[in-house]
Structure 1
Amino acid sequence: MQKLHRKMIPVLAPALLLGLASAAHAMVPESIQVPAGHQVAWETVGVGEIAYECRDKPDAPGELGWVFMGPDAVLNDRAGAEVGRYYGPPATWEAADGSRVTATQLAVAPAGEGNIPYQLVQANPAMGEGAMTGVTYIQRLDTRGGVAPATACGEANKGERQIVRYQADYIFWKAG
């Protein structure tokens, strides 16, 4: 039986995120900027969890570490209403209307100590018709928490899973 641990972080109320998101968007690192010719189609706030497991690192056989297993988050609009989900693997953004996309990571940028990095992904063609139809890029901005656990990962706890809380803005772009 796997042990499951949860690390809690403070999560901001969606109403407070309006001002924070605007400030974060103004300072987007160049490496994760969306190419010209695209416009914002949808802005959401993801609030949820990321699972990590103590196991052999995929890129370093024989070396143990906390390995990212996948997210599970609710996507809220700026008013705080649930409008979709983000889960994986594979990383999937699904709107409440059933349309969904997966994507390929293009770039990441540091987001401050204790926060998962900012990210730019290129969306694959949407499955289903709806909000995700035509999405070309997704940015992850204004991240809070979500990093791998600070606790040791070794033979004694190999196979252990830990869940960490996180929050991030997900900005969906379409060709303009």
Structure 2
Amino acid sequence: MTGFPPRLAPSLRPSLTCLAACCALALAACATPPMPPPTSDASLPTELRAGQHEVLQEVMTTHGDETYVCRRIKAATQPGMALPGVARDGTQLLWDPLGSEAILVDSNGQSAGTVAPGRYFLSYDGSYVIGKVAAESQVGANALTWVRYTARFVAAPRPGEGRFADISSIQRIDTSGGLPPQPDCEVEGAHLLVPYGATYMFYRAKGLAPVALSANQAAH
């Protein structure tokens, strides 16, 4: 995700309504060109690798924004050291990450769901996963971290049904962009949207059958 500058946002869209808001971008997602093969699981830092009892279910890519809010945060300074922008109480206005808002695109180049702040992974069929950060690694200096999420909560329209019904963990790898141009900000409460791209690897427990897409899903 290069060539698109960060932009200030007047307000942040609510996390749980992100799915509906992103539907309007589905056609753009369908036009996304094929991505290169993702970094293999065996090549990842050890802490980011899938569990021994997991199997890869699906690979998706994203294009969207990492969202930030300008907040007054305790500055990391040494005693007696004064830094520009640091208030007398030791706080500083910094961009604080809120999460990702992005379209998930499957291996067929079709829009399949969204990523929303709060580590929500939502499929258009109604199933979704809430992730919990299990491990994180700063692989590229100018891009978002690579992350392994475990499934903190999984929901489906009916038990066992839906694209994300049996997801056990997710890897975010091969990231590009997503970082603010500088860590500090000027207007408390302002929001910033920074374009990013990533590959998401979705895993399920071994022994579970792969998700079966409905004819309607397969056609879109």
Pairing of 1:5-24 with structure 2 (within 5 A): 5=8, 14-19=32-37, 21=38, 23=39
Q: Give me the whole-angstrom Cα distance separating, in 1, the residues matched to 2:116 and 2:131.
A: 12
Deviations 1:127-173 (A, max 9, x none): 1131111111100011011113326424xx22222110001111110
Q: Give the partner amino acid of 2:91.
A: G
Counterpart of 1:65 in structure 2 is: 94
Q: Describe the SS at the equivalent of 1:46.
A: strand
Q: Give the partner amino acid of 2:105.
A: N
Q: Describe the SS at the equivalent of 2:35.
A: helix
Q: Is the counterpart of residue 159 in structure 1 residue 189 in structure 2? A: yes
Tell whether the 8 Å contact from 2:41 to 2:50 is kept in structure 1 after alignment: no
Q: Is the counterpart of residue 148 in structure 1 residue 180 in structure 2? A: yes
Find the partner of 1:106 among 134, 137, 141: 134
Q: Describe the SS at the equivalent of 1:124.
A: strand
Tell whether the 8 Å contact from 2:64 to 2:196 is kept in structure 1 after alignment: yes
Q: Give me the whole-angstrom Cα distance separating, in 1, the residues matched to 2:106 and 2:147.
A: 19
Q: 1:27 to 1:124 in 2, by over 3 A?
A: same
Structure 2-normalised TM-score?
Answer: 0.67
Q: Is the counterpart of residue 82 in structure 1 residue 137 in structure 2? A: no
Find the partner of 1:133 among 144, 156, 165: 165
Tell whether the 8 Å contact from 1:92 to 1:102 is kept in structure 2 after alignment: yes
Q: Give the partner amino acid of 1:30.
A: T
Q: 1:64 to 1:152 in 2, by over 3 A?
A: closer
Deviations 1:84-137 (A, max 9, x none): 11102x210011211001011011011212110100011024211311111111
Q: By how many angstroms is 1:63 displaced?
A: 3.0
Structure 1-normalised TM-score?
Answer: 0.82
Q: Describe the SS at the equivalent of 1:172.
A: strand
Q: 1:151 to 1:118 in 2, by over 3 A?
A: closer
Of structures 1 and 2, the larger Rg is shown by 2
Q: 1:175 to 1:58 in 2, by over 3 A?
A: farther
Q: Give me the whole-angstrom Cα distance separating, in 1, the residues matched to 2:151 and 2:132.
A: 7
Counterpart of 2:17 in structure 1 is: none
Q: Is the counterpart of residue 174 in structure 1 residue 190 in structure 2? A: no
Aligned pairs, how many? Answer: 162
Counterpart of 1:53 in structure 2 is: 69
Q: By how many angstroms is 1:64 displaced?
A: 2.3
Tell whether the 8 Å contact from 1:50 to 1:69 is kept in structure 2 after alignment: yes
Pairing of 1:39-50 with structure 2 (within 5 A): 39-50=55-66
